[in-house]
Amino acid sequence: MQIYTFIMLALLYSLAAYAEEPALPGGLDDLSSEPDLPMGLDSSESDFPKGFNDEGSLIDPVFTITGFIELRSGQWIDKHSYQAQRPLNEARLQLELEREFSTFTFTAVADLIYDDVTNDRGIALENGNGWLDLRTANAVFSPTPFMDIRLGRQILTWGTGDLLFINDLFPKDWNAFLIGREVEYLKAPSDAIKISLFNKSVNLDLVYTPRFDADRYIDGSRASYFNSTLGRLAGTDAVTKVDRPNDWLHDDELALRLYKNIAAYELALYGYNGFWKSPGGLNPTTGRALFPDLAVYGASIRGPLASGIANAEWGYYDSQDDRSGRNPMINNSEQRLILGYEQEIATNLTLGMQYYLKHMEDYAHYRRTLPAGAYPARRSRQEYTLRLTWLTMNQNLIWSLFSFHSPSDNDGYLRARLHYKHDDHLSLEVGGNLFWGDDQQTFLGQFQNNDNLYTALRYGF
Amino acid sequence: MRNLITLLLFILPASLVAAPTVDEIVHRSNMTTYYQGEDGRAQVKMIITDSQGRERQRQLTILRIDAAKSDAIEGDAYLGGQKFYIYFHRPADVNKMAFLVWKHLDQDDDRWLYLPALDLVKRIAASDKRTSFVGSDFFYEDVSGRRLDEDRHELIETTKSYYVIKNSPKDADAVEFSYYKAFIHKQTFIPVQVEYFDKAGNKYRIAKALGVKNIQGYPTVTKASVENLKTGSKTVMEYSKVEYDIGLDDALFTERYLRKAPRRQLR
């Protein structure tokens, strides 16, 4: 009997060694090579950590406060006399408060800013200048099960383009975009009411902005641009003066989106009635830039194609103050189109490509009425964009490239960024914005003296 | 000696009769791990520790709904599409982001990511499912499951507590492992330990169930870990507030609730 026991033991031992099983934990009296039973499957239920599963919820039922503190500083690669001293040099504290009430949720996001470039210590909630940029302050509630309402200051986005927008006519902050702020600042807030209706067959979003919210457009106060009156690149020496439509309820905007999913494909129709969001005209007597009337109709589709995601979006820009295209001081109507595709081409490496077309209507009228000596825009502006995102070091180091290139206007823009998450709170970022163009008058060519590099340090909480 | 033989003769036929087939084992294990109940919710805390001992945390809430309203193994009745809603709490840079996945059995998953600071609903291209889930040592596939028909399954051993299954990929080039060995608990069918072997035959990755609880009658892993033996990195995941059959509405898994987080259900 003893010898059989010995053989059995030897056999088990050799099997265990052969299988490279984990060494047996102490206290186990059987000789099997199996893993320990986890807590809950073994007999020692009482060993389960006390308090586990009894912890509070990750979502606080009433009130949360989160945010970050950030230092961000940039430099022009080649500074020109008409540019601000630096593209940016600022400290920012963002506080986000969320408070849940029985029938609604209130959210506020406020940025407190020390801005060394504009040295502006006032408050201008409309354009975000000064020491306070109130990004969000709204209440969300559902008066009926099929309706959501968001009322107040809010960031709004829809459409399918990647950093290209056709039917998204919510305000953008192009300054923030070009000078190296975090990309979330490309979106400027709207003071609006958004009503969303949900239905099995189709959903509807309706956004009413009682007073026009313009883009935070390039006005020369930081970055330089092409000033058509001066006929040259200009900046702080010729900050754009505008006549902004700003009568409550009269100079209002209405945007709507009708959308539904069919299988994996997202379909949408859009409509907009308001104004060109960045200056789209000039008053020849005052020399002030205008935001002429604009209506937009469009459609989009997005869904899987091959092993990636494809999207197509179209819009018709109806420039209502110059329907015939004969007024050289106001933008002509346009057709716009985006075709895009994105795919993970290797593990943790994503490639996105887009084709973008802006096609001017009534081009003959435009050319005929163009003042002598003025730079004639091409009828069609075509652009290709390329996005490369590469995640390394367990997704803690993110390499990102985004380029715009227009073969028709021979201009372009490259955004490069390296973002490192040092730990759960601290992140570091370096990046650059590079512009080029054959002509100073084209859409991106006008920014050719704005090449800049920036660095940022952020602590999130 | 005679006693031993008698014992073997007594046990062997009985265990042969009772022993489930390999197919049944892997399906039961798959159902237990990913499909229990009609829907479910869990709050998840992850601690990622790298080889130098530096820790990172993730906190998120997962909601799940199954298209198949059955847990029955017979006729694969439990199998079907699934939808996941993942809401991020921590770290600060992903706070309030929401991730929506429609998992299909016969085609690539549909995925959307909502970025609240931009109010952007971004469609995410299908990706390699064996890449890190939110920077942890868990793969997407560990969280949402791997299709059983992608591997060949072989019962290589039956121990006191486990069925030991060797799983070999049908398409060896599609994955980084040459096979993985799963120790599946005989009573609950929970995969207590899964060991991954590389093409050279070396063990390089271990997934473990560290804690199990009976929740509403469903055996549930409440603590799990994945260890990468090559990089020395390890992630421990703890599930709390686990609930099944909470009556989630399919409509919750749509764009509407990406833009407006379903706070009541997430809590």
| Predicted confidence (pLDDT) per residue in A136-157, tens digit | 999 999 999 999 999 999 999 9
Tell whether A103 and A202 lie within a shared domain.
Answer: yes
Chain-chain contact of B125 with A424 (C-beta, under 8 angstroms):
no
For chain A, what percent of residues have pLDDT higher than 70? 89
pLDDT tens digits for range A272-316: 999 999 999 999 899 899 999 999 999 999 999 999 999 999 999
How many domains are there within chain A? 2
In a domain, A60, yes or no: no
Place of tokens 């883009």: A215
Of B121, B134, B241, the CB nearest to A57: B241
Q: Which of B95, B212, B263 sits opposite A40 (nearest CB)?
A: B212
Backbone angles phi, psi at A271, to 5 degrees: -145, 150
- What integer pLDDT is reported at residue A27 of this predicted model? 37
In a domain, A341, yes or no: yes
A61 has a pLDDT exceeding 90: no
Taking an 8 Å cut-off on Cβ atoms, the answer to whether A34 and B238 are in contact is: no
Q: How confident is the model at residue B14 (pLDDT cuts 50, 70, 90)?
A: very low
B118 or A19, which is more confident: B118
Residues in B closer than 8 angstroms to A427, CB to CB, are 93
Q: Which of B259, B264, B266 best probes binding to A when mutated, by most A CB atoms within 10 angstroms?
A: B259
Where is average pLDDT lowest: A117-121, A272-276, A301-305, B182-186?
A117-121
CA distance A147 to A203: 10
Greater pLDDT, A398 or A128: A398
Express each pLDDT in B205-228 by its tens digit.
Answer: 999 999 999 999 999 999 999 999
HEC sequence for chain A: CHHHHHHHHHHHHHHHHHCCCCCCCCCCCCCCCCCCCCECCCCCHHHCCCCCCCCCCCCCCCEEEEEEEEEEEEEECCCCCCCCCCCCEEEEEEEEEEEECCCEEEEEEEEEEEECCCCCCCEECCCCEECEEEEEEEEEEEEECCEEEEEEEECCCCCCCCCCCCCCCCCEEHHHHHHCCCHHHHECCEEEEEEEECCCCCEEEEEEECCCCCCECCCCCCCCEEECCCCEEECHHHCCCEECCCCCCCCCEEEEEEEEEECCEEEEEEEEEEECCCCCEECCCCCCEECCEEEEEEEEEEEEECCEEEEEEEEEEEEHHHCCCCCCCECCCEEEEEEEEEEEEECCEEEEEEEEEEEECCHHHHHHHCCCCCCCCCCEEEEEEEEEEEEECCCCEEEEEEEEEECCCCEEEEEEEEEEECCCCEEEEEEEEEEEECCCCCCCHHHCCCCEEEEEEEEEC
Query: Measured between alpha carbons, how far is B23 from B165 in angstroms, rounded to an integer?
Result: 10
Q: What is the CATH number of the domain that holds A122?
A: 2.40.160.10
Residue A364 resides in a domain: yes
Mean pLDDT within A341-345 = 96
**The predicted structure's pLDDT at residue A52:** 44
CA dihedral A301, A304, A307, A308 (to 10 degrees): 40
Q: Does B133 touch chain A (CB under 8 A)?
A: no
- Residue A266 predicted with pLDDT over 80: yes
Percent of chain B residues past pLDDT 70, beyond the cut: 93
A49 and A72 housed in the same domain: no
Q: Does residue B133 carry a pLDDT above 50?
A: yes
Higher pLDDT, A284 or B27: B27
- What pLDDT score was predicted for residue A119? 67
Confidence of residue B3 (pLDDT cuts 50, 70, 90): low
Q: Do B59 and A58 touch (CB under 8 A)?
A: yes
CA gap B259, B120 in Å, rounded: 8
Q: What is the pTM of this model?
A: 0.90
To the nearest whole Å, the CA of B140 is away from the closest chain A CA by: 13
Question: Using CA atoms, how far apart are residues B200 and B204, in angstroms rounded to an integer?
Answer: 10
* Amino acid at site A51: G
Eight-state DSSP code of residue B75: G
Cis ω for the linkage preceding B262 (within 30 of 0): no
CB contact under 8 A, B210 and A39: yes
Number of H helices, E strands in chain B: 5, 13
As for the ipTM of the complex, it is 0.89
Band of the pLDDT at A33, cuts 50, 70, 90? low
Q: Assign A9 a pLDDT band (cuts: 50, 70, 90).
A: very low
Q: What are the two backbone dihedrals, phi and then psi, of residue B256, each rounded to the nearest 5 degrees?
A: -50, -45
Q: Which residue of chain A is at minimal alpha-carbon distance from B47?
A: A424
Q: Given A57, A157, A183, which is nearest B43 (Cβ)?
A: A57
Q: Which residues span the domain enclosing A24?
A: 1-55
What pLDDT is attached to residue B2? Answer: 53
Percentage helix, strand, coil for chain B under 3-state DSSP, each rounded to 5: 20, 45, 35
Selecting from B124, B125, B135 the residue whose C-beta is nearest the C-beta of A394 gives: B135
Confidence of residue A30 (pLDDT cuts 50, 70, 90): very low
Residue of A nearest to B254 (CA): A261
- Nearest by CB to residue B212, choosing from A38, A68, A461, is A38
Examine the domain organization and report whether A30 and A177 are in the same domain.
no
| A311/B123 touch (CB, cutoff 8 Å), yes or no | yes
A382-393: pLDDT as tens digits: 999 999 999 999
Q: What is the pLDDT, as a whole number, of residue A123? A: 73
Q: What is the pLDDT of residue A352?
A: 98
Residue pair A334/A356 in contact by the 8 Å Cβ criterion: no
**Quick one: pLDDT at residue A34?**
82
* Chain A residues close to B185, C-beta within 8 Å: 37, 41
How many Å apart are CA A32 and CA A21, to the nearest integer? 10
Residue of B nearest to A458 (CA): B93
Residue B6 in this model has a pLDDT that exceeds 90:
no
CB atoms A460 and B92 under 8 Å: yes
Distance CA A37, CA A45 (A): 11
Provide, as residue numbers in chain A, all residues whose Cβ is less than 8 Å from the Cβ of B214. 40
Residue predicted with more confidence, A65 or B16: A65
Give residue-wise pLDDT tens across range A401-454: 999 999 999 999 999 999 999 999 999 999 999 999 999 999 999 999 999 999
CATH assignment of B22-266, among 3.30.70.20, 2.50.20.10, 3.40.605.10, 3.30.470.20 = 2.50.20.10
Task: Give the pLDDT band (50/70/90) at residue A2.
Answer: low
Q: Are residues A294 and A247 in the same domain?
A: yes
Residue A271 has pLDDT above 50, yes or no: yes
Chains A–B, number of C-beta pairs less than 8 Å apart: 173
Closest-CA distance, B241 to chain A, in angstroms, reads 6
Look over chain B and give the mean of its residue pLDDT values, rounded to a whole number: 92
Q: What percent of chain A has pLDDT over 90?
A: 79
Distance, in Å, from the CA atom of B84 to the CA atom of B39, rounded to the nearest integer, reads: 10
Q: Residue A445 phi/psi, 5° resolution?
A: -60, -30
Q: What is the DSSP letter of B260?
A: S
Mutate: best of B29, B50, B212, partner A, most A CBs <10 A? B212
Contact B137, B131 (CB under 8 A): no
Residue B137 belongs to what H/E stretch? Answer: none
The whole-number pLDDT of residue A24 equals 38
pLDDT band per the 50, 70, 90 thresholds, residue A42: confident
pLDDT given at position A399: 98
Is B71 in contact with B37 (CB distance < 8 Å)? yes
Determine the pLDDT at residue A300. Answer: 98
Q: Is A2 within a domain?
A: yes
Is A132 in the same domain as A244?
Answer: yes
DSSP 8-class letter at B21: P
Is the pLDDT score of A12 beyond 50? no
In this structure, the answer to whether residues A48 and A129 fall within a common structural domain is no
Q: Tell me, what's the pLDDT at B29?
A: 97
- Determine the residue among B107, B161, B185 to mutate to test chain A binding: the one whose Cβ has the most chain A Cβ atoms within 10 Å: B161
CB atoms closer than 10 angstroms to residue B188: 20
Domain boundaries, chain B: 22-266
Q: Is the pLDDT of residue A18 over 60?
A: no
